[in-house]
Amino acid sequence: MPYNLSTYNLSILRFAFLTIYLLIFLPAFSCASGPPSNKKIFLPSERFEPQVKEIEPSERVKAMNERLMQPLSSRIVSDGDYRIGPGDLLTVSIEGEKMNKPVRVSSHGNINLPLIGVFNVKGLTASELEKEVRDLFMQRYSREVYVSASIKECRKQQISVTGAVEKPGLYEVTGQKTVLDMLATACGFKVSFSDGSKEVVGNLLFLIRSSKTYVIELEELLMNGDLSLNLPVNHGDVINIPTSGNVFVGGEVKRPGGFSLKGSKLTLGQAIAMAGGLKKGANGSEIRIFRFAGKGPDKEVLFANVYAIDQGQGNDPLLKENDIVIVPEIGVKSFLIELRDTMKGIFGFGFSMGL
């Protein structure tokens, strides 16, 4: 069947146009959609990696030291926070009475005031002492008076700073000092170690006081500037700054402090042995292990009986970095965890009778 000329020519034109389109335009679209030769192709595991590098441990320590050495005016603790103790020299005056003579606090924490007599002032602040004198005067003479009390001379106090600081030791200080004051006195955190190890300062500071241990996050205190964590220190306090990769053993052990894992496995029994063993009167059947899940006070509490472990009646649990082991005292009916919600990054471990 013969072709119509006009139809044939139209078909030829359509075929030519299609050929030109495919030869010219399609490669252009293909190049536009493909990756340029100088562009990195990210694998799925690379795609979401952070673009900013984390601060090197040594740089982090240097930054904390810089914050630590800032003027003390930024972290002054009021004299009203100072706790009276043996050896302090006090001045107490009562309105209308001649009582301006300074009085020394005895070794038992007592003072003897005219019109009042002997009473204990150990652990009181100046404002609390004023209230105590007012109350005693009211009981004796049935009238209210204005009382003024001040600390004329502070006793010498001994505070220990141990762990990853440049100059650890026992320091004798006067007046009210704080955690930051003592860290500055110890010349800040250790940047390098003489043995060439790569240990770095951890993020936790332990303030050990009698039967209570406070735990403070250094990053919150120094890098984020939360000065509510800058606790006042008292005579006999021990400040311990473990290196990272450590565990802490406290409570009724002979040498409480931080102990390094150093990449090896450390059990509860081994950690207690490193802390000098249990004190006489320690309750090894109700040991608590506080395990941190991350930043802040979120933690898991584990229970252990070291006596059962010694007798082969239980497994000796492995400890993890930043674990805190607390050994209570025999006769304490309850173990108290004091969580201070008003202070971000700080909580205390203590013992409480009858709870």
Residues 104-126: tens digit of each pLDDT: 999 999 999 999 999 999 989 99
Q: Please compute the mean of the pLDDT values over residues 39-56 and round it to a whole number.
A: 35
pTM: 0.62
The model's pLDDT over 185-203, given as tens digits with 9 standing for 90+, comes to 999 998 766 555 555 788 8
For the chain, what are the domain ranges? 89-153, 155-352
Paired residues of 303 in beta bridges: 288
The class of domain 89-153 in CATH terms is alpha beta
305 pLDDT higher than 90:
yes
The model's pLDDT over 146-164, given as tens digits with 9 standing for 90+, comes to 999 999 998 888 999 988 8
Averaged confidence pLDDT in the chain: 76
CA–CA separation, 284 vs 307, rounded Å?
6
Q: What is the CATH number of domain 155-352?
A: 3.10.560.10
309 pLDDT higher than 70:
yes
User: Which of 10-14, 68-72, 83-87, 330-334 holds the top average pLDDT?
Assistant: 83-87
CA dihedral 196, 198, 199, 201 (to 10 degrees): 110
Give the containing element (helix H, strand E) for 119. Answer: strand 117-120
The pLDDT value given to residue 160: 95
Predicted confidence band at 136 (pLDDT cuts at 50, 70, 90)? Answer: very high
CA–CA separation, 239 vs 242, rounded Å?
10
CA end-to-end span of the chain, whole Å?
A: 110
The pLDDT value given to residue 11: 57
291 pLDDT higher than 90:
no
The model's pLDDT over 258-290, given as tens digits with 9 standing for 90+, comes to 787 766 789 999 999 999 999 998 999 999 998
The pLDDT value given to residue 217: 85
**Cβ proximity of 234 and 214 under 8 Å:** no
